[in-house]
Structure 1
Amino acid sequence: MLVNAAGTSFFYPPIKHSFVRNYFTKTNLQFAANHPKINALISRKNEQTHSLFTSCCHPPASQLKAAAAAVDGHTGIGILEFFQGKNIFVTGATGLLGKVVVEKLLRSTSMGKIYLLIKAKDKEAAFDRLQSEIISSDLFASLKEKYGTSYIGLVREKLIPIVGDICKPNMGMDSESIDAVRKDVHVIIHSAASTTFNERYDLLVDSNVIAPQRVMRFAKTCDKLLLFTHISTAYVNERREGIILEEPMIMGGDDGAVDVADEISLLLRSPPNNNDATTNFFRKIGLQRAEMLGWSTTYQLCKAMGEMCVNEIRGDVPLLIIRPAIIESCYSQPLPGWIQGMRVLDPVIVSYGKGMIPAYLANPHVPLDIIPVDLVANMTIAAIAKHGNTHVTMAQSTIYHVASSLQNPITWFDAFEYLYEYFKEAPLIEGAKISRVKFFDDFEEFSKCLRGEIMRHYGANGDRKMLRQCNVKAAYAEQLCKLYEFVGFLKPRYHTGNIQKLIEEMSKEEQLNFQVDVRNINWKKYFQEIHIPGLSKYVTN
């Protein structure tokens, strides 16, 4: 069925939401250590019961510092006051969001040290990655300009690389690093994750379900910890309809529940190797499990399980969960348009700019829930200051949706209109035919239209070589649309009430220096003057 701007909406059949059952022992905080199936997996990965992270020395609220002065509309949250002298531990600091958070903390606060967990073979290699991927990044140009010749000294004093890997026992850290971070850290930001939608199921479980628990177990041993921040995704809630409130995903629920033990036992069916047959097996089983349990991708299923598990084992550790929608390039600070690598929407944008997507599989009226990365970073920092300042044990985790679908929606139709206006004047390939996209709700009809348009554009006409090239282009476009199909027909809208409260509590100066209000975004300007030029400059060259 072809759908134009005046068409009606169409959605998948409703699928009942699922939850993860509780398979965690509360005595030793090990991941399901009392379950024989999972014990086998843990043993295989050398996750010993004498982990350095099993002792719990997180102080009770009564031993923490006295609460800061009451916040009112004039004094603000106290972002700068909170971060003064605070030491932060960050996983995933070389990723898009982690890097922007680190830059913002350095540029706008007087925090103490930032310990960066970096995957590397030794300390020298970790320093090399710090230099090449963070210190020398274009993102840090404003800092370089601000501090001039003292810039290198500043970042080397403030940024402390720690050799580690969240997928290894004790996060791959040596005992010296563990002791140093455990004694110093006030805030943990767990941003590291595998973000490939349909990666191998075993790899996604390891990085997005088991690894966050390693970080939380470590958090429970930190002497001065005030807050644990877990970066999740809005798409842990995907197929529920209506407005999704900022509520934690709690363990339990008997109807259609996801059994974590059963899910992990699937990973024991084949030896962990990297041959094509094993890779295909784990990808296939991951997609099957995700679809059966109510998610579109293996990534979403594993992020949902990871969030639930961290919430379950946190004990008295205050937990802040950030759920961003589709993160894209910076809107304003420190560098408009800066982005690292292709994000969710970017392969679609680039392919459309090359004339390869004359049709698309989506509902044109569905909001494309995107959010610039600098707003996510600012919101994360502001929320940490607010909840870190409370100095009390949270009865439950606090959730922040970082999304645009309710406060400042942009539909798929709007987005492709902005792309059309831009690329018809400046296509990415000379001579590329850029036309307004045709929307479909049926894959077969979409595929037929797509292939026909591509064949006509390139004039295949029986030329076998050209025919093969057209088929390759069409297959790639189909794969893209199929992979992101769930975004094109997304049913929920993400409530952002906690961000609105945050904005109300921020002082005018804080609102200016830590911009978090998605209502201020001009989407046409963002696409045509910021994001597409940023893609060209920092990704596609």
Structure 2
Amino acid sequence: MLLSNINFPLAKFPKTSTNINHFPFSNIKSVGSKKVLSSGKMKVLIDGYTYFNSPSHPLEAELHHQEFNTTDDTGIGILPFFHGKNILLTGATGLLGKVVVEKILRSMSVGKIYLLIKAKDKEAALTRLTNEITNSDLFKTLKQELGDSYEAMVREKLIPIAGNICEPNLGMDSESIARVRKDVDVIIQSAASTVLNDRYDLLVDANMSAPQRLMRFAKTCNNLTLFAHISTAYVSGKREGLIMERPFIMGENGRKEGLYDESTQLDIIEENNLILKSSSSSSNHHDLTKNLKRLAQDRATLFGWHNSYHMTKAMGEMALDEIRGDVPLLIIRPTVIESTYKEPFPGWIQGNRMFDPVIMAYGKGQLPGFFGDSQVIMDVIPVDMVANTTIAAIAKEGNMHRPHPQPRVYHVASSATNPLLYSDFFEYLFHYFNSSPLIPSQEISRIKYFDDFRDFSEYTRNAINGDKDKMPLKSQNQAKAKAAYAEKLCKLYEFIGFFNARFDTGNTESLIEAMSKEEKLSFEVDARNIEWKKYIEEIHIPGLIKHIINGTV
């Protein structure tokens, strides 16, 4: 039997692994001019790439007759799943979306990646693609690997689509709609408004209505395999203890008392009516903004969420499940996403993210105290691990012959498997900034913890103001502004300073167990492998200084 005459599914590996010695397998045997691994998989070189035959192919019987071990370790099958697949991605200019794009391009052979980019026309979308994505410092590793072929590859693989998820038909023109509808195999919904205390109407539109629009479009796609939605672990609200990976039920709230409370059933239609009522009663833009921000926080507090961002993300999950029909839905819930741990290089980050203003304020001597519990676990996860988990989970769920009847939820978190206490976190900060101060001659003291905001406020003002009677008026005003900023910062993030919960990662653990050794190396998803001291002191803070303070993207 000639191998070239056999038509079988292909699993593609990077060109860098074409040498048989590069693979983590032992006991390689020869069959004619081919190579057979101890697993029984036949290695074939086609166009410079390495392929293995499917274990279910009739060739397996031929190998069996030659008394080779036919036990296969294909794992999830991430590479073969994505081979030739066309993807629609929203939020590609954001932190996670950008890392997902880079990882896919660098690690596997996909078809097209359609990027829905907020822009007025194709030319503007292409400009944003170039300026904010392909010219990003994040892509320097891929540029180095591909050399002169980099530009041609991104032109072939990355297709910018001018649109807006907050508009009808996602803001796409008819030609784009027809093309994407015909081609797309996987949709990754990563776009969102992440402002914790924004106007209620803006948050509901971006985090609930927009995903609904995308799901309605998904239901018209010809070959859709899976819809992946990026949410947040903090949709859990004010619940405590071990938070499980389960989907929301329509009307559910986030209160501590339990999953259901008849007096606080969340009615999405009623929330929209309240927004319309508040909008119509506001006399000017300033009043409108103030009223809608107040309404957002009031409703979040009533229903048991820390802020309106978390609440509207929960509403988005409910709405997606309500209208999805038979579209398989995967929900990824990361905790606090921070800089890359390993890939494509350590320390890359975009935007001044949740813990980063706290880190920078402490490093500048503007945060002498912290409104939080030193023994509470803070939950941080590097963005490359979130991207890898998203990709691996899509492959795992997409390869299922019978999709789960309920949406599948994956927490991407560290609190349950590799906990990091605030006491350790701030000790790492103290060690770093004492060795490498942000401001020359700046003295940094160990942080003091407070569980009473008035005590925290008084201590902070005294520590920052010093002997204000001896200070010139300008310096007094600056000190007052710094103290006010520290108070605002800690009040804004109060929910994570006293967050007495851990996020279960059972589905993510099962994902890890199902992955092959090769996949675990290529797609790192295990938070237990994070060395926190190294990550904070050697990777994350230097990355913040380089990419945020010095302003590179």
Q: Which residue of 2 aligns with 1:179?
A: 178
**CA distance in structure 1 between the aligned counterparts of 2:146 and 2:401, rounded to whole angstroms:** 33
> Which one of 350, 366, 385 corresponds to residue 376 of structure 2?
366
Structure 2 contact 237–311 (Cα < 8 Å) conserved: no
Q: Where do 4+ consecutive residues of structure 1 move more than 3 Å?
A: 67-73, 252-255, 271-274, 458-463
The 5 Å alignment of 1:202-241 reads 202-241=201-240
The 5 Å alignment of 1:56-95 reads 74-95=73-94
**TM-score normalised to structure 2 length:** 0.83
**CA distance in structure 2 between the aligned counterparts of 1:524 and 1:273, rounded to whole angstroms:** 52
**CA distance in structure 1 between the aligned counterparts of 2:453 and 2:361, rounded to whole angstroms:** 18
Q: Can you list the C-alpha shifts for 1:183-242, whole angstroms capped at 9, x where unaligned?
A: 100000000000010011110001001111001001111110000000000000031111
The alpha carbon displacement at 1:341 in A equals 0.9
> Which one of 531, 536, 544 corresponds to residue 535 of structure 1?
544
The root-mean-square deviation of aligned C-alpha atoms, in Å, is: 1.8
Q: Which residue of 2 aligns with 1:480?
A: 489
**CA distance in structure 1 between the aligned counterparts of 2:55 and 2:404, rounded to whole angstroms:** 16
Q: Which residue of 1 aligns with 2:509?
A: 500
The alpha carbon displacement at 1:433 in A equals 2.4
Structure 2 contact 264–302 (Cα < 8 Å) conserved: no
Structure 1 contact 287–298 (Cα < 8 Å) conserved: yes
If you compute each CA radius of gyration, which structure gives the higher value, 1 or 2? Answer: 2
> Which one of 251, 262, 274 corresponds to residue 266 of structure 1?
274
In the alignment of these two chains, the number of paired residues is 474
Structure 2 contact 86–185 (Cα < 8 Å) conserved: yes
> Which one of 327, 340, 354 corresponds to residue 364 of structure 2?
354
The alpha carbon displacement at 1:299 in A equals 0.3
**CA distance in structure 1 between the aligned counterparts of 2:459 and 2:321, rounded to whole angstroms:** 46
Q: Secondary structure at the match of 1:270?
A: helix
Q: Can you list the C-alpha shifts for 1:261-290, whole angstroms capped at 9, x where unaligned?
A: 221112112259983222111111111111
**CA distance in structure 2 between the aligned counterparts of 1:127 and 1:312, rounded to whole angstroms:** 35
Q: Is structure 2 residue 423 aligned with structure 1 residue 413?
A: yes
Q: Secondary structure at the match of 1:424?
A: helix
**CA distance in structure 2 between the aligned counterparts of 1:388 and 1:273, rounded to whole angstroms:** 50
Q: Secondary structure at the match of 1:100?
A: helix
* Alpha carbons of structure 1 residues 174 and 418: separation in structure 2 relative to 1, 3 Å: same
**CA distance in structure 1 between the aligned counterparts of 2:197 and 2:402, rounded to whole angstroms:** 39
> Which one of 467, 479, 482 corresponds to residue 470 of structure 1?
479
Q: Which residue of 1 aligns with 2:114?
A: 115
* Alpha carbons of structure 1 residues 365 and 69: separation in structure 2 relative to 1, 3 Å: farther
Structure 1 gap segments, 5+ residues each: 1-66
Structure 1 contact 73–507 (Cα < 8 Å) conserved: no
The structure showing larger relative contact order (alpha-carbon pairs under 8 Å, at least 6 residues apart) is 1
> Which one of 484, 489, 500 corresponds to residue 491 of structure 1?
500
**TM-score normalised to structure 1 length:** 0.85
The 5 Å alignment of 1:283-432 reads 283-432=293-442
* Alpha carbons of structure 1 residues 432 and 460: separation in structure 2 relative to 1, 3 Å: farther
Q: Can you list the C-alpha shifts for 1:401-458, whole angstroms capped at 9, x where unaligned?
A: 00000100101111100000001122212232210000001100000111111112x7
**CA distance in structure 2 between the aligned counterparts of 1:251 and 1:372, rounded to whole angstroms:** 31
**CA distance in structure 2 between the aligned counterparts of 1:226 and 1:122, rounded to whole angstroms:** 29
The alpha carbon displacement at 1:475 in A equals 0.4
The alpha carbon displacement at 1:121 in A equals 1.0
Structure 1 contact 73–505 (Cα < 8 Å) conserved: no
The alpha carbon displacement at 1:460 in A equals 5.4
**CA distance in structure 1 between the aligned counterparts of 2:341 and 2:240, rounded to whole angstroms:** 29
Using the aligned pairs only, state the percent identity: 59
Q: Is structure 2 residue 164 aligned with structure 1 residue 165?
A: yes
**CA distance in structure 1 between the aligned counterparts of 2:56 and 2:232, rounded to whole angstroms:** 32
**CA distance in structure 1 between the aligned counterparts of 2:436 and 2:265, rounded to whole angstroms:** 50
Structure 2 counterpart of 1:250, one-letter code: I
Q: Which residue of 2 aligns with 1:440?
A: 450
**CA distance in structure 1 between the aligned counterparts of 2:71 and 2:309, rounded to whole angstroms:** 40
* Alpha carbons of structure 1 residues 454 and 72: separation in structure 2 relative to 1, 3 Å: farther
The alpha carbon displacement at 1:459 in A equals 5.4
